[in-house]
A and B are shown apart, each in its own frame.
Chain A
Amino acid sequence: MAKITSNILVDVSGGKDVYNALAKAVSAAGLGKSVQVAAVDGFGVKAEGAVVKVLPSGGYYTGVAPEDADRIVQAAASGEGGSPVPAYTTNVRVALKNVGYIDPASIDDYIATRGYEALGGCLTNNTPQDVIAAVKASGLRGRGGAGFPTGLKWEFAGKSAGDKKYVICNADEGDPGAFMDRSVLEGDPHAVLEAMAICGYAIGADEGVIYCRAEYPLAVARLENAINQAEALGLLGDNILGTGFSFKISINLGAGAFVCGEETALINSIEGQRGEPRLKPPFPAAAGLWMKPSNVNNVETYACVRHIFLNGPEWFAGIGTEKSKGTKVFALAGKINNVGLIEVPMGTTLREIIYDIGGGIRGGKQFKAIQTGGPSGGCIPASLLDLPIDYESLASVGSMMGSGGLIVMDEDDCMVNIARYYLDFTVEESCGKCTPCRIGNMRLLEMLEEITSGKGKPEYINELRELGEVIKDASLCGLGQTAPNPVLSTMHYFMDEYEAHIRDHKCPAGACSALLKYVIDPEKCTGCTLCARNCPVDCIAGERRKTHVIDQERCIKCGTCMAKCRFGAISRV
């Protein structure tokens, strides 16, 4: 049977001239049975003019004119053609290197990508001190959000005296809209296991615990499978690779408390105690799980470790900015065209992430803010879009790196309502141990609820700010210390929206339903009855060919009537 042997992919987003010329050239040369011309929608490469990609080689032609068609078709038919072109996005893969590439259920796939070679190398050729020195030299910082230098953390745990130590993996990913760690665990579980074993060797631990939220059943299943495979090959368990080093890993399921992502609350939870944070010091490196020296890192941090040893600490330190090395994985969500999981070098700007990688704002709407760091972070406005992403710069604008959730908001999002949403989350998730967090956040939420329903008082502005600062100062753990950030940052950048709600009882974005109503313009209404027929609560009255009226008492402000009206007679005021 005849089989197509070459495919010419043409970017037709800029017009079909080249596509048509190529199709014509193929049929003129009588190559229709072996060469295919296919239209695609852009390659995302740095190139001018019309771009064509040839398969199977994957080479590109750029700046193609219709008269180039014959030449390209002949080259493609002979199995060659084109040259490499750099991709437009500069994203590099470290933590996600294997995710979406290997079969996560196959240890052979992992080993084929130099899996466990870093562990084997450390055990065979390096002292624990060498290993710690390499991690320090790489500049790797905690990817869970706070950004503490990983090598330093390992060094503290290594220097703590003790006959028994633990390596803990924090896989209790809980920020709304975040799924970086889940993707790593589900796509490349061995990378985490290998790094935990390396850490165990470095600090002198023989046992590791992965604290994974129970809402990630597939991640847990793939981890269990991976642990069994690694033990069967002697890559975990006793006497790993004949070196005398032993390391076992078990999985502990979290029951869905956000605060258990805080390392001391997590340790309490593993011990079977209430998931409440402990006073620090002592830090886990001195007295952690079962009061033994413990090292806690997040999934993504561990996922970076093996590449530091495979490529050298200098290589890792060569990526990113002066103080934030390497890459960061982000879960890009919200009002953006290309929702997805991305990994970019530290120092990439928000603008590059939103427009180059994310494809811009959905529906061509106006960008308003980007939320980073989840409930601990803040909202960053359009004026700061050229901010390079690293730990320090995000903190300097009142937000934080966080674990990597990026939620894009457009003109239809009310910033007061967004702050209310996050406060609602932290109030729900506060463990209740510290009064400022337990009561203070509740008070913040109550004020925000009043503001978004038009009952806010002018003095709330100062009260929100003062109370927010007190909660930050007086809470024990990261949850309370950062919970007011969404309020404080939106007040800093979007005070006009707070004022509009309080002073004018208006929601400029039209998101707070208590502050808006739908009205019918008698001039434009034709009495077609379409709105009345579609109203889910039957609150629109009016005879055929006569002006209709919305009963404001019964209206639930769903906006269906406005969307259905063909005459633009209904508006939101």
Chain B
Amino acid sequence: MPLKPPLLADRFLKFFCAPHLLEEVQGDLHEEFEYQVKHVGVRRARWRYWLDVLGFFQPRYIKRKPSQYPQTYLFSLNMLRNYFKIALRSLQRNKVYTSINLLGLSLGMTCGLLIFLLVKYHLSFDNFHAHSDRIYRIVTEQHRDNISYVSAVPSPLGKVFRNDYTFAEKVGRICTFEDMLISIKAEKGLNKFKEPQGVAFTEPEYFAIFNFPLSVGSFQNALNEPNTGIITERIARKYFGNTNPINQIFRLDNKLDIRVTGVLKDLPTNSDQKAEIFVSYPTLKSYNDWLGSDDAWGGIQSSMKCFVRLRPGVSPSEVEKVFPAYVKRYRPTSKNVHHYKLQPLNDVHFNAQYGGAMNKQTLWILSLIGLFLIITACVNFINLATAQALNRSKEVGVRKVLGSLRGQLFWQFIAQTGLIAAIAGGIALGLAALALPYVNQWFATEISLNLLTDWRLVAFIPALILIVTFFAGSYPGLILAGFQPILALKGKLSQQNIGGFNTRRALIVVQFSISQVLIIGMIVIARQIYYAQKADLGFNKDAIMLLPIASTPQQAKTVKAQLQSLAGVEQVSLCYSAPASNGHWQTAPHYDNHSEEESFRVSVRAADNDYLATFDLQLAAGRNIYPSDTVKEFLVNETFAKKLNVASPSDLLGKNLRVNGNMTGPIVGVVKDFHDHSFHEDINAVCIPSASDFYNNYAVKISTANVPATMAAVEKTWSKMHPDQLYEYTFLDEHIASFYETEALMLKLIQLFSLIAVFIGCLGLYGLISFMAAQKTKEIGIRKVLGSSLAQILWIFGKEFARLIVVAFLVAAPIAWWFMNQWLQDFKFHITIQPWIFFVTIAITLLVATLTVIYEATKAALVNPVKSLKSE
């Protein structure tokens, strides 16, 4: 039996060798193989066979013999030019069709582009530091009856960790105080500034971890001495103008004079490290004695962060194992509450538990919505294009007769789609640039649209255009290319040949499902926000101004008296905070003669005796506290009684209460429950002692008559009493509305998105109706001849759309219900999703759909049957 040459080599030869050469080449190779087998053996013959085959892999043998008939190539420059010319002409002729497509696509692409920018911006946070994969923040889990998460640690932890272990290359502590008052001596008087991003007491090692370069000075000596600091270029310009900032002095909180020893380059916008004024860490001791000391293990101040950069190869779990020893050594008396963990730097921006600015899930949802909008826009395009396909049947027929291939016709259509997509992409870019300032405002971001420096964006836009082109263009392209030339030329093509009416129906259903989910979501969110703002919170929040107390308790009392004497001011209370606030001053209470502290925590809302009257808080039992500067008596709320399992609130009266370690006194009254936080949280146990050292705010209740004059008088009084402070105020209702900023933003977004989705959906509907109208021309003609009325014919259309929308609704309602129910679970106090929301949704959709189709449908119904039946 003759030996066979290697099969794979033979196949390869067959694949590449030109057919007219294959026979002799392969024959010679085989003969040579047999000869070689005899002479050198099988193994080497096979080896040589491979070499010989590869030797033939050259243009001479690959090139095919030219056929005697001319060939049509898929791509030729002349034809491409022709495609674009014809595409432009047909776009110009069908102006309505073109503009609907452009509008839909560019809206979808604008959203896609903006969402891309937003997601990219958030993913880029703090990714520019050297070895950022080894940078961690030490955070604290506090295990009590539930676990709470704090992004801070006791202040000495960083120091002892640095001294005791070699896990970390660098350990940097930074303690940031927000809203700090900065004053600078000017030629006349003081220039006062309030920095919302605050002032940070920082160790120099912080800057060894984070990549924030100095433009003037060096870290070696910039942050070592007490009362020195560095500022960014922006702050330097703001405070000192054009004068050299080095060695200039600014005053911190009217307490400390800080000398500038260095200037930082402006911080990048994509960083969570926001403070722009850094003061040397040793200064902290004179600003806050407790926090600056080495034994402040008693509690955690949220301003105190500690960052570490681990050595290569050190795993975070290894490091976390050494922390419990610290808790044992330095916090022997408190139960094992603190658990220190390492949080990776790339988690800081996204982890909501530790105050991350952006949830990754939100980014996913946004991306998904962006994708949906682009899909709906493409779906539209497909709908309209297939509906239009019949109009081009003659062209397709002629092209086919003249020798076009299917592939060419397909590419021709793709070229046309590409043209539309490219124009839409251009429009989208312009729209995105226009909308970007609003996006930045909504999301509190600083995104810029820079085509020159941002290669990802530069790559994204063509990629988007390409994807849209193929997604939207392939299906209609295939249909067009598949026309039978004879039928097409005779004009005998009917809609059946185009097919896919059901596909288009399905697409419409998908579009309207998306729209209706969004609409339901919009209504639910709006209702919930409305509920949160209008529901009875248990206290009065209207016409109450909150002013900061910026002086000693004695002066504060004077200011209060002066404010009270103003016309238009009804009540003034000195208090730690308003009844509802974001602040968390919570502590474990010692009740009565119980030996242990209670397992629940109580919010301390220190306030004077005017608190109840100012905020209209109602007493359930007992009496108000008497005026006092120190802790003498307590008010508590009903929840406090419930948590103690006391049968009646009045049982609490007269019992002793000790909170915060040293605040002690009898309970004299119980107030009715009020919402002490946002609706996201349950009502906490609350106690209200008088303690003038802790008052932060003047709560000023003003009469609603002549508000501007009263406000001006309040400002004048306050400024006169605090000449070295910056006047600022908030209204309580605005403050409470700010609890729901995220929800308000979400509402705005979902309003926008559902508007766009409905709009794009309507464009699709319009496409379908024009398609149906063309399809049913004859049917309508016959019906009219047989005596149908206008209304009956309109109902042919109405029936179709009502059915589609109802089906879409049946899909959308459960999905939306599930999603919104999940969303509402975030709130401890929320509305229920009521049936009317669904009715309103479907009514809105039906109404909008009717408005969309009514014109085309009426036009189709009014056509003279003579005309529509004449041509056959």
Q: Does A associate with B in a complex?
A: no
Q: Give A residues with C-beta under 8 Å from B.
A: none
User: Interface residues, chain B, CB within 8 Å of chain A?
Assistant: none
